[in-house]
Amino acid sequence: MNSKELPDSVQCGDVLVAVQLCPFGDWPNGGTVQKCDEVAFNKLVEKWREGGGREIICDFEHRFEDPSLTSDTSAAAWITNLAVNKERGLVGDLKFTDAGAQAVTSRRLRFLSPVWTLDADGRPDRLRSVALTNKPAIPVACVLNRAPQPVNQTVEETKENPMDKLKELLGLAPEASDEDVIAAVSALKDQVAELNKEKEDAEADDFAEEHKAVCNKDALKKAYLLNKEAARELVAGLAKPDAEKQPVIPNKPALNSLGLTPELKPTKSAGDARAEMAALPPAERAAYFKAHAEEIG
């Protein structure tokens, strides 16, 4: 999402509704894998409501959770509502303080990072706090991905921005611009085209290899790449060689049309031989005479 689509600012007391606190997924942190599924988030929200639905602090850079920074536990905002969105995961309403509004408006801090306890299965059990940070351990959307919503609008009524989901699928950071998205889609398209080309080339090579006995392999491969169906029809129409059928080689005089000596009976008289020779075409008489020289005398 480019800068023109972001709100100009938020002020002290403004409420951003249904801000993403954590998407669904298994998110590693150190030696632990946080199983952030719908079951976990529903239980977390239920436990929060059973505890009275108290506001949860959103601080700066997790200072509220750091014992060494007890001198500064100021809030950037307060989580006033929690809910589960079937597409975006755990979401909450943020009511900003003056310091928090200034931090996100100036884009000094842009992301949220939750702190929670985990149960025995590694699922979030209780949300302790949330922090404004620029280095979230879990990939979340920017705080100001959309303009502030009316306070009376419920968390469940908000819908995910399709561009946020597209960025997530493309592996882009939440603050990526439209130009970044277009470039990533174009690169992905080129990768798919290259993979399809390699697949088709391998398929054509296999086809040409299989039928090289009846057609030139290189020519058949080119034909297959141009038109698969036409190449298959071409191969189907060609007679395949019969491996069991051997060529017949005659071991006796063949027909005169092949230029070989005709087969004649050796009992002819000289007169008969001369008469038969005279009846032959001039081109065949010499061969006839050579074969029956003894008879003709």
pLDDT for the residue numbered 81: 95
Closest among 177, 109, 172, 179 to 143, alpha carbons compared: 109
Residue 105 CB neighbours (<10 A) = 17
Closest among 280, 274, 230, 276 to 257, alpha carbons compared: 280
pLDDT for the residue numbered 83: 95
pLDDT for the residue numbered 231: 83
Separation between Cα atoms, residue 2 and residue 179, nearest integer Å:
8
pTM of the model: 0.47
pLDDT for the residue numbered 35: 94
pLDDT for the residue numbered 259: 53
pLDDT averaged over consecutive 10-residue blocks of the chain (297 residues)? Answer: 50 90 90 92 94 93 76 87 94 93 88 92 92 89 56 46 78 78 84 87 88 85 87 76 54 51 53 72 75 70
